[in-house]
Amino acid sequence: MVLYHFLLLLVGAHALFEDQVGKFDWRKQFIGCPTQIEVDRRGKLDRYLMATEENVVAALSMNTGEIVWRKVQEDTANQGHRHAPTFAGNKNAICTVSDSGRMLRIWSKRDGAFLGQLLLSSVESPHPPAVAIENEACLVVAHNRAIAVSLKDATKLWEIEINKSNWVAARPHRDGFAIVGGIQENSEVHVKWVDAQGNQNLNRILSVNSFNPKRVTLSGRHLLGHWDSTLYSLDILANGPEMKIEVVDKKEQILEVVQFATEGYAAVRTTEHTAVLNLAKNFAEVLSTGKSDAVSEFVNKDGVQYVALVQNHVLTVFDLNERKEILKQVAYGDPTLLAPVKKVVVGGGDKEWEFLVIGEDCRMDHLVVDLNAKKGTTEWSREEGLTKIGSVEMLDLPLSESQAAIETEFSVDEKNVLASFIHRLISQLDQFKRWIGKSFESIFNLALVMQVQSSSFSDILNSVRNSAKSSSSFRGYPLERDVFNLRKLMVVTSLKGSIFALDNSDGSVVWRKYLGANVDGLTTLDGHHKIPIFIQRTTAFYNFDAQVAVAYKQNAATHITFLNPMNGKEVDHQVVNDARRIDLLPFVGDNHLHSIIVVGANKKFTVFPSLPANVLETAPPVHLFDVDQKNGKMTGFRLDLKTHELKETWTEFLPQWQESTLITISGKPSTQRTHSQGRVMVDRSVLYKYVNPNLVAIALLGKESSQLTVIMLDAVTGQTVHSARLPKVKEPVHLVHCENWVAYSYWSEKGRRTEIAVFELFQGIEQQHLETFSSDEPLKQALHVEQASFIFSQGIQSMAISETEQGASNRAILVALPFGNIFEVNRRILDALRPMELTAEMREEGGFIPYMPEIPIATEEMLNYNQTVHHIQGIKTAPSGLESTSLVLAYGLDMFYTRVTPSGTFDILKDDFDHVFITIVLAALILGSIFARRMARNKALQQQWA
Amino acid sequence: MWYLLFFLGIVFANEEDKSIVSSGAFSVEGEVILPSEALASSKWHTQTRVLLNHGQFIGFVKPDGTFRIDGIPSGSFIVQVENVDYVFEPIRVDVTGKGKIRARKLTILQPNAVNQIPYPLKMSAREQTRYFRKREEWRITDFVFSPTFLMLALPMLVVLVIPKLVANDPEMQREMESMQMPKMDMPDVSEMMANFFNGNQKPKKKAEISLSSHKKESFVGAVICFPYIFRVLNV
């Protein structure tokens, strides 16, 4: 224990005080893209109940959009996950089938209390599961079985086998359940009616023509199947054959059949119009012409049936009983920013209508429309697309106008002294004017706040503090860099097809852009899906706008869109048909712009934007590195821009490729800096780091051999610099690569625990590359490798390294733990050179931490204290203007942003520095000394007289 | 003991066979026990999950605190309780191929050490999670009782208060005169201050002499009153 405290002292552990909560950090909780939404108006609070793609069941408040309760179930990344979760609910409980039909769980609707669970199978269900609820029993159809469970504690009531089906449906029917299963091969529909005790009362086989599994909807007792432009209806409880409903012309295509809660009705959307189907009478009534985006039914308390329709962000509501339009063409939001609507749910309607609109990019908008209003108001929105992040970049904000003015002053090379003097005066006058304007504004705001709030001193102090905080957000202020460059713009791509720019001070969305339908990520070398963001030009150049390129796949073609990250305006757009590789060129072309290189088939490549001749002339060769996913063949390429050639330079094969999975290929960011080239040992010799910018770390895990292989490869020469093998290792494996060291975590089967190993590469005590590093130059001596491994008592979901501006601060390894915390391990703890025993010399020298196998984890050191975040997929770090401070964004199902200071805040006063106290002390000292001086003088005078 | 455990194992295995649909999958059962002050909040169980092997399998907690994690293959697992407000000791659970389950204390440094604990699991909260460091509050008592303050305050007291006490008590004065004290030439504090603030004004010699004789008395007073002062301050 003593040693432990000693350790903490040495490392300067990170910990927060309670009053610092929320000062630098914020958290956003998400639920994921909804797959099923129900309106719950039974309780005190009106709510939306949702099941989502992220395997989450949640209740959202209808008034605020906040999460009332949320149940995070199995991580979808764990196993195969084909079927979306589904649920059914009565007034007290909801019954969910999640994890691709593996698990049935019952929850209390009011507070999300867990009531019971039943494991349906340990494998995926072969068909999408169906669930229905009736009389305190929940029926689930999955794995070709129908199982009824009690709603109280999920105990199984009965179970029956059903025929092997391609699709299933279930609904309550006369105190029991009607189960429908479809068999595609012989075009049969099996209908069973089972009563509450599990007795099969009816067993019927109906033969049908073309009920395709993906195009079947059960609406009440009618089964609706569609094919191109024909629609069939089948009454499952009657004997008759299926009926064809004449709804469409031959030209049209049926897009979707929407089930209604009211017996005997459904809706159909086609490419040309939207119609309500009266299934009892077997006819369709056209509601509107033109393609609509979503249709939904709503029945009010008096049983009046309404249909809501969304068409290009315009809402229409029809009263089916009166046969008239209640709401006509109500627009909402800004249609240029929003994605097409995927689903609409009517939350309530009477005098005021409430709608929940889900976009293709998983944005939820809750709209309130007054009966007479022309435009709907958005009460709240949720960006659920942020649960599937493709990549994140943090960008500096542009220089403020005044800062830019100073820059221009220096850049103008005027010979005339007088002119530059006048220029100087003008710019200083401008600065003064700005300062006065800002001060006035803040005083005015403060006065306004103080008027509203009560006038105790602490209140005033609080309002001052808050006003300072609110002015730091973007509202009303232009995007400008702050003094320490702590405020940044986070550009985030979502795999759901949107780009967001988030303000890092509070996580609010500055701008958003929808990329289009069918957007998919690109596959990285190590098999991850990403929508990469390439920073072509930062905001460092005041006379040019910053520019980023975002690359994504859409309908089999690769699109690259070039944007100004500060406002989201598109600068250029390119479509490439056969892109194999997209990357950023390391040198700049015209106007300080890094070009994007796209390598296609047959080693052809293009550069966007194309480089000018003079740059091409002097362009150094670029080396590319590729791994073939089929056979594990690694290839190095040399790209010569001068001759426009792409040549193969080397090939290597990854070992045991067939039985291995590629975990990660990790290079180093080109912006990363290594501050110190060596490490001073205790005997005052210097161990020089092997800092090779072309070094790539590759981690492979054998499926059968359970062997983890880490290979350090020079991507230019193809030479393996170092490799490490570890037997008896299981997933999860995470690897981070930085400067001259690599840290990787793994599950050790031998120790049955998580371990983190670290190795560092050194050149030895002589430095070979004095000026610049060259991969072509062979190493004079073998690399000196130091390694150590540590026990980590928790699991690891994600790992990242902090980044600072100069790399002089210690690095911290940020680790996302499975129960929702983010933990910071200082690099001085995770150090391969920690001595086994402290010698007398080391004690004298100080700063050495003896090796201990376990990495201590203290709850006080959790970066996100009690703000837990789940299913973290990645952690992005970025340097700030302060060398001590690194900005951190952890993302997954939730998002958490904070700052870390691995070496302490050495370059800035502590946040809790007591300015008031120090001022009082200083004033008291000055006053005291003046007073004492006067006293002393008086005394001296008296003594003179005595 | 071994026999008993074996017997228990069979009982549980049988139970699994009845409740579990697919064969070869087992369940881990247990109970989460929280201190009574935490149970007052009716929501605690909705914010608690049980994780096996850091989230490979998860279980939820019923309102009565019990949990069951289904679908587990044979092997060794770490069971942890995820709760924001309380810290729980993790437990290791071993499941044999036949479904026998034994629970033991988790010692991360010695994975093979067997320190058996009863199954079904009882996961009790160890303590409330502390996420924050306590900010040091500035209290006047801390300041007064700090050694540096005492070191400063005592001589002050000696210099300023004791002479007056002594001056009021003629008996004590007499006593002191009778005592043999070593003669010490102490510099005068007020003199020093005066010198410090008006450096160029030279005080008169006469004043200095008279003050230094005064000083001697005060020193004697200090020696006598030392224990007394300490008692006062320690109250």
CATH number of domain containing A157? 2.130.10.10
Using one digit for the tens of pLDDT, what is the confidence trace for A679-716? Answer: 888 888 899 998 888 899 999 999 888 899 999 999 89
**Which of A348-357, A449-458, A811-820 has the highest average model confidence (pLDDT)?**
A811-820
Nearest to B131 among A73, A117, A865 (CB): A865
CB pair distance less than 8 Å for A17 and B133: yes
Which tokens sit at A383?
């960006």
Q: Are residues B190 and B149 in the same domain?
A: yes
Q: Are residues B26 and B58 in the same domain?
A: yes
Residue to mutate among A16, A98, A117, A868, with most B CBs inside 10 A, is A117
pLDDT at B215 over 80: no
Q: Are residues A572 and A612 in the same domain?
A: no
- Asked which of A207, A240, A265 is the last residue of a domain, the reply is A207
Phi and psi dihedrals of A283, rounded to 5? -140, 165
CB pair distance less than 8 Å for B25 and A122: yes
Which tokens sit at B5?
């455990």
Residue A795 counted as domain residue? no
Q: Are A803 and A813 in contact (CB under 8 A)?
A: no
Which position has the token pair 């795999």?
A495
Chain B nearest CA to A253, separation (Å): 43
Interatomic CA distance for residues A154 and A93, integer angstroms: 11
Burial class (CB in 10 A: 0-12, 13-18, 19+), A116: buried
B176 lies in which domain range? 140-234
Scan residues 62-121 of A and list those with Cβ closer than 8 Å to B.
69, 71-75, 78, 102-103, 105, 111-121
Interatomic CA distance for residues A411 and A912, integer angstroms: 40
Q: Are residues B100 and B151 in the same domain?
A: no
Using a CB-CB cut-off of 8 Å, the residues of chain B touching A754 are 54
Chain A nearest CA to B216, separation (Å): 21
Q: Are residues A437 and A451 in the same domain?
A: yes
Q: Are A814 and A822 in contact (CB under 8 A)?
A: yes
Using a CB-CB cut-off of 8 Å, the residues of chain A touching B20 are 119
Residue B61 counted as domain residue? yes
Interatomic CA distance for residues A482 and A909, integer angstroms: 17
CB pair distance less than 8 Å for B21 and A119: yes
Question: Rounded to whole angstroms, what are the CA distances from B210 to A940, B189, B190?
Answer: 15, 14, 13
CB pair distance less than 8 Å for A117 and B129: no
Using a CB-CB cut-off of 8 Å, the residues of chain B touching A18 are 132, 135
Residue A549 counted as domain residue? yes
Taking CA–CA distances from B197, the nearest residue in chain A reads A933
A463 lies in which domain range? 401-471
Interatomic CA distance for residues B181 and B175, integer angstroms: 12
Q: Are residues B76 and B187 in the same domain?
A: no
Residue to mutate among A753, A792, A868, with most B CBs inside 10 A, is A753
Residue B135 counted as domain residue? no
Using one digit for the tens of pLDDT, what is the confidence trace for A263-321? Answer: 888 888 888 888 888 888 888 888 888 888 899 988 888 888 889 989 888 888 888 88
pLDDT at A525: 86
Q: Are residues A431 and A572 in the same domain?
A: no
pLDDT at A822: 94
Taking CA–CA distances from B65, the nearest residue in chain A reads A114
Residue B70 in contact with partner chain A when CB distance is under 8 A: yes
pLDDT at A892: 92
Domain count along chain B = 2
CA atoms lying within 13 Å on the CB side of residue A21: 11
- Asked which of B86, B106, B128 is the last residue of a domain, the reply is B128
Using a CB-CB cut-off of 8 Å, the residues of chain A touching B51 are 795, 818-819
Which tokens sit at A448?
């306004």
pLDDT at A417: 81
Residue to mutate among B197, B210, B214, with most A CBs inside 10 A, is B197
Q: Are residues B64 and B33 in the same domain?
A: yes
Domain count along chain A = 5
Using a CB-CB cut-off of 8 Å, the residues of chain B touching A943 are 203-204, 207
Taking CA–CA distances from A159, the nearest residue in chain B reads B21
pLDDT at A941: 93
Residue B48 in contact with partner chain A when CB distance is under 8 A: no
pLDDT at A457: 56
Residue A810 counted as domain residue? no
CB pair distance less than 8 Å for A117 and B60: yes
Residue B19 in contact with partner chain A when CB distance is under 8 A: yes
Query: Which of B22, B12, B173, B30 lies closest to B91 in space, CA to CA?
Result: B30
Q: Are residues A82 and A156 in the same domain?
A: yes
Residue B61 in contact with partner chain A when CB distance is under 8 A: yes
| SS3 of chain B: helix, strand, coil, percent, to 5 | 45, 25, 35
Nearest to A859 among B53, B131, B190 (CB): B131
Q: Are residues A79 and A146 in the same domain?
A: yes
CATH number at residue B44: 2.60.40.1120
Cis upstream peptide for B118 (omega within 30°)? no
Which position has the token pair 């106290």?
A917
Taking CA–CA distances from B75, the nearest residue in chain A reads A752
Helix (H, G, I), strand (E, B) or coil at A2: helix
pLDDT at B200: 53
Interatomic CA distance for residues A136 and A93, integer angstroms: 9
Residues paired with residue A70 on neighbouring β-strands, in sequence order: A58
Q: How confident is the model at residue A1 (pLDDT cuts 50, 70, 90)?
A: very low
pLDDT at A548: 94
Q: Are residues A201 and A55 in the same domain?
A: yes
Share of chain A above pLDDT 70, in %: 92
- Asked which of B105, B128, B151 is the last residue of a domain, the reply is B128
Residue B133 counted as domain residue? no
Q: Are A102 and A91 in contact (CB under 8 A)?
A: no
Residue A862 in contact with partner chain B when CB distance is under 8 A: yes
Residue A692 counted as domain residue? no
Q: Are residues B160 and B101 in the same domain?
A: no
Q: How confident is the model at residue B185 (pLDDT cuts 50, 70, 90)?
A: low
Q: What amino acid is encoded at A311 in this protein?
A: Q
pLDDT at B183: 55
pLDDT at B188 over 50: yes
Residue A207 in contact with partner chain B when CB distance is under 8 A: no
Chain B nearest CA to A489, separation (Å): 29
Nearest to B109 among A114, A115, A853 (CB): A853
Burial A77-95 (b: 16+ CB within 10 A, else e): ebeebebbbbbbbbeebbb
Q: Are residues A644 and A500 in the same domain?
A: no
Q: Are residues A452 and A495 in the same domain?
A: no
From the CB of residue A304, how many other CB atoms can be counted at a distance below 10 Å?
Answer: 15
Residue A70 counted as domain residue? yes
**Intra-chain end-to-end CA distance of chain A, in Å:** 66
CB pair distance less than 8 Å for B204 and A944: yes
Residue B210 counted as domain residue? yes
pLDDT at A815: 95
Residue A505 counted as domain residue? yes
Residue B159 counted as domain residue? yes
Using one digit for the tens of pLDDT, what is the confidence trace for A368-412? Answer: 988 877 788 889 999 999 999 999 999 998 887 667 767 766 666
Cis upstream peptide for A34 (omega within 30°)? no
Q: Are residues A508 and A451 in the same domain?
A: no
Interatomic CA distance for residues A253 and A256, integer angstroms: 9
Chain A nearest CA to B63, separation (Å): 7
Nearest to A860 among B19, B22, B132 (CB): B132
Nearest to A936 among B54, B78, B198 (CB): B198
Scan residues 156-215 of B and list those with Cβ closer than 8 Å to A.
190, 193-194, 196-198, 201, 203-204, 207
- Asked which of A606, A628, A653 is the last residue of a domain, the reply is A653
CB pair distance less than 8 Å for B193 and A936: yes
Using one digit for the tens of pLDDT, what is the confidence trace for B136-166? Answer: 777 777 777 788 888 888 888 888 887 777 7
CB pair distance less than 8 Å for A119 and B207: no
Q: Are residues A543 and A639 in the same domain?
A: no
Scan residues 751-810 of A and list those with Cβ closer than 8 Å to B.
751-754, 791, 793-797
- Asked which of B98, B128, B158 is the last residue of a domain, the reply is B128
Residue B202 counted as domain residue? yes
For A390-418, give the secondary structure using H, E and C: EEEEEEECCCCHHHHHHHHHHHCCCCCHH
Chain A nearest CA to B178, separation (Å): 31
Q: Are residues B157 and B191 in the same domain?
A: yes
Q: Are residues A449 and A532 in the same domain?
A: no
ipTM for the predicted complex: 0.84
Using one digit for the tens of pLDDT, what is the confidence trace for B48-94? Answer: 999 998 888 899 999 888 999 988 888 889 999 998 889 998 999 99
**Residues with Cβ < 8 Å from A812, sequence gap 6 or more?**
A801, A802, A824, A825, A826, A827, A886, A900, A902
Q: Are residues B13 and B106 in the same domain?
A: yes
**Residues with Cβ < 8 Å from B232, sequence gap 6 or more?**
none
Residue B47 counted as domain residue? yes
Q: Which long-range contacts (CB under 8 A, 24 or more apart) does A47-53 make?
A: A48/A345, A48/A347, A48/A356, A49/A87, A49/A89, A49/A94, A49/A109, A51/A84, A51/A85, A51/A86, A51/A87, A51/A96, A51/A98, A52/A85, A52/A384, A53/A84
pLDDT at B198: 64
Scan residues 97-156 of B and list those with Cβ closer than 8 Å to A.
108-109, 111, 129-135, 138
Taking CA–CA distances from A109, the nearest residue in chain B reads B46
Q: What is the mean pLDDT of residues A169-180?
A: 83
Q: Are residues B103 and B9 in the same domain?
A: yes
CB pair distance less than 8 Å for A860 and B131: yes
CB pair distance less than 8 Å for A859 and B21: no
Q: Are residues A521 and A465 in the same domain?
A: no
Which position has the token pair 């209290």?
B139
Q: Are residues B16 and B112 in the same domain?
A: yes
Q: Are residues B119 and B148 in the same domain?
A: no
Residue to mutate among A114, A731, A799, A873, with most B CBs inside 10 A, is A114
Q: Are residues B34 and B110 in the same domain?
A: yes
Residue A445 counted as domain residue? yes
Using a CB-CB cut-off of 8 Å, the residues of chain B touching A123 are 22
- Asked which of A207, A232, A260 is the last residue of a domain, the reply is A207
Strand residues in A601-728 grouped as ranges (E): 605-608, 622-627, 633-640, 645-653, 660-666, 678-680, 686-689, 695-702, 708-714, 720-726
CB pair distance less than 8 Å for A74 and B70: no
Mean pLDDT of all residues belonging to chain B: 71
pLDDT at A47 over 70: yes
Nearest to B132 among A18, A103, A105 (CB): A18
Using a CB-CB cut-off of 8 Å, the residues of chain A touching B22 are 119, 121-123
Residue B21 in contact with partner chain A when CB distance is under 8 A: yes
Which tokens sit at B157?
């007291």
Contacts across the A-B interface (CB distance below 8 Å): 141
Chain B nearest CA to A356, separation (Å): 27
Residue A238 counted as domain residue? no
pLDDT at A9: 41
Residue B84 counted as domain residue? yes
